Amino acid sequence: MAWALAERPELLDAAVAARPALVSVSFGDPAPAVGPLHEAGIAVAAQVNTADDVRRAQEAGVDLLVAQGTEAGGHTGHRATLPLLQEVLALADRPVLAAGGIATGAGIAAALVAGAAGVWIGTPLLACPEALNSPAARARVCAARGEDTVLTRAFDVAQGLAWPERWPGRALVNDFSREWHGREEELAADAEATRRVVEARRTGDLAAAPLYAGESVGLVTAERPAADVVRDLAVGAERALRAAADLLTGP
Ligand SMILES: Cc1cc2nc3c(=O)[nH]c(=O)nc-3n(C[C@H](O)[C@H](O)[C@H](O)COP(=O)(O)O)c2cc1C
């Protein structure tokens, strides 16, 4: 999170020290992070949510853009994936990935045919045993429908997090979001509500803790190893791409 790096530059040092192939720097200006990452031989991605974000990320010298639609789980912008992707592709002079709401092989194929160089997923991995979610959270993810998410600042405001207003978070609706979403100003002054979320995060109380998930959560119905999820997506994408070619030539 670029805005967090501004206050805590040691987080970037920790990311470099882990020697990853790629670091994603999003939600703010990626420019200060690009130099140190490139010097360490690490490629840089930036998620973008608007046309202005694209210009800023390209000027900063990132290697890869991720057009992140509002369907995505976690913090995101307000533009839908497909129109945003098309606009980013028109502006970009480097590879663009599509993110937000993609959870099937056919969905991947659609993004690739639209011109994306690949896709970037989060929600389809939320019920994987490799993820840090508790068993109760994984069960909630598996039971949730696509209609059960809310894009809200309530959890950030409750925790006093310095997330800029333009990036709310998409989470599963719960008792806390039902009570406070849309009443953020009042929430900021309510010490008891703040305490409730902080405590809920500590104890894993899903009625008040945020469980970030995107609109594709309705497609996540079983706990499965991450490798199986990714393999099925790849197989499904290939099948869908072959079927798409048949649309032109006949089977
Ligand atoms: C639980 C969760 C946590 C996330 N945390 C971050 C994060 O810390 N930084 C970030 O850049 N994106 C984060 N994201 C967003 C993902 O990078 C990605 O844009 C999103 O998951 C893609 O859309 P999808 O959720 O519909 O697959 C998170 C997403 C989820 C679901």
The per-residue pLDDT for range 67-122, each reduced to its tens digit, is 999 999 999 999 999 999 999 999 999 999 999 999 999 999 999 999 999 999 99
Output the CA 211–ligand 1 centroid distance in Å.
12
User: Which residues have CB under 6 Å of ligand 1?
Assistant: 1, 24, 26, 47, 68, 71-74, 99-101, 120-124, 212-214, 216
All structural domains of the chain? 2-122+225-245 (3.20.20.70), 135-219 (no CATH)
pTM of the entire structure? 0.97
**What atom of ligand 1 comes closest to residue 124's alpha carbon?**
27
pLDDT tens for 32-50 read: 999 999 999 999 999 999 9
Q: Which atom of ligand 1 is nearest to the CA of 133?
A: 1
Six-digit token string for 91? 């502006």
pLDDT in tens, 133-191: 999 999 999 999 999 999 999 999 999 999 999 999 999 999 999 999 999 999 999 99
